[in-house]
Structure formats: C-alpha cells, structure tokens
Amino acid sequence: MSKKISYSVGSLALILFLLVAVWVKMKGTTAPIAFDSSIQKFAYHLQSSHALTRFFSDYTGFFGDMTGYITAGVVILALFVLGERVGAVYFALLAAFSTVVNELIKHFIHRIRPDTHRVLGFAHQSGFSFASGHSLFATILFGSLLLILWRYLKSSPARLSLIIGAIFLTLLVMFSRIFVGVHYPTDTVAGFLEGLVFLTFSAPTFVKYNQKYHQS
C-alpha cells in the first residue's frame, strides 16, 4: 500500500470515527442507537447455544484485560524470536499508545455499558463502553501482523487470504463483545475504526524502517 493510499484510508477512518463518536455523545451515552438494537437482538438470540457461548466467552478474553496483556507479550516475544524486531517494537508501541488514547476517549464519551443479557462471567464488567478496547486491540494486533507478514507472501492469493483472515478474526472479536453483552455494536465499529486510524497513519513509517532493518 502506498503512502498516499494509506493516509487516505486513515483520514476516511478518522472522519467516520469522529462522526460515530459525536453521534454517540449526543444521542446514545445511555442507550443503543442506529443499528445497535437489531444486531444486539441477533447476538442475544445466539446465547441459547452453549457451544457459541463458550466459544465467544473464551475467545474474547484473549484480546483485553490481563489476558490481553499476556497475548500482547507472547506476540512481541514471538516476533523478536523470529527476527522481526522492528515489527515487535512497532506492535508494542502501537498497542500501548492506542490503549492510552482509547481510555481517554472512553472517559470523554462516558457511554454506559449495556446492562442486559450479560453472559455469565461478564455480569459485573465495569468501565465505559465507547470505544471497544478489545476491538481496538484486535484491529491493532491483526493489522500489525498483516503488515509484518506481508513481505513474506509474494502471490496475490496468499496476500488476499491473509487480508481476509485478519478481517475475519477481527470481526469475530467485535461480535464477541456484543455477544457477551458488554458493548453496543457501535462501540465495536468505533474500536475498529480507531485501530484502523492508528495502523494506516503509522504503516508507512513502519514499512520504511522495516525495509532498512532487513536490508542492513
């Protein structure tokens, strides 16, 4: 992806994020807005499946809270072991910085989490709802891995598969937050857009230094 395209995508994502943030701040700090309710009803209906409840409850845990820190640590260590030192530092800095920014956004928007249809184990989860930190972290994680692994894949089908895989795994995290009842869909969309902003604005710098590192 060229620098121009990367910055253009980032600018569009930033505009969309700001629009959603303003909309939520004005209309939905204590209630669902837009398409929230319809997606929530669909997700809550699936809670009748024990298998899905177990899967999403376990899956979502890898991308936030203390387990999220462990996930990040394992990824960073693995990247160092594999010789992707620039990638490891890039992911670590991006994950840390985006988490701090998102906490500030949460306190500014001050959106209350949904309080119905909570899955067991998430009934007492506190904190504010907008934007979803799990969705943000998943976007940063899979987006960073996409950038790091990109140069190893030479064929278009392989690269397309990597893109689809990264998007699919991120969407699963987003849906998992709705499924367990701790986020509105607009929270997760905002988390994805926020992560996309960080990724696209930082990607050209990462590519530049990563190429220099591997050519030295």
Give the mean pLDDT per block of 10 residues along the chain (216 residues). 90 97 92 92 95 96 90 96 95 96 96 92 90 97 96 90 96 97 97 98 94 82
Q: Do the Cβ atoms of 114 and 177 come closer than 8 Å?
A: no
pLDDT at 213: 85
Per-residue pLDDT tens over the stretch 67-99: 999 999 999 999 999 999 999 999 999 999 999
Scan for tokens 């997606």, then name that residue: 39
Q: Do the Cβ atoms of 65 and 132 come closer than 8 Å?
A: no
CATH of 3-215, one of 1.20.120, 1.20.144, 3.30.420, 2.60.40: 1.20.144
Contacts of 177 (CB under 8 A, 6+ apart): 60, 132, 134, 135, 183, 187, 188
pLDDT at 1: 64
pLDDT at 179: 97
- What distance, in Å, lies between the first and last C-alpha atoms of the chain? 23
Say how far residue 4 (Cα) sits from the centre of its chain: 23
Say how far residue 145 (Cα) sits from the centre of its chain: 13
| Angstrom distance (rounded) from CA 64 to CA 95 | 11
| Angstrom distance (rounded) from CA 90 to CA 92 | 6
pLDDT at 44: 95
pLDDT at 133: 96
pLDDT at 143: 97
Q: Do the Cβ atoms of 174 and 189 come closer than 8 Å?
A: yes
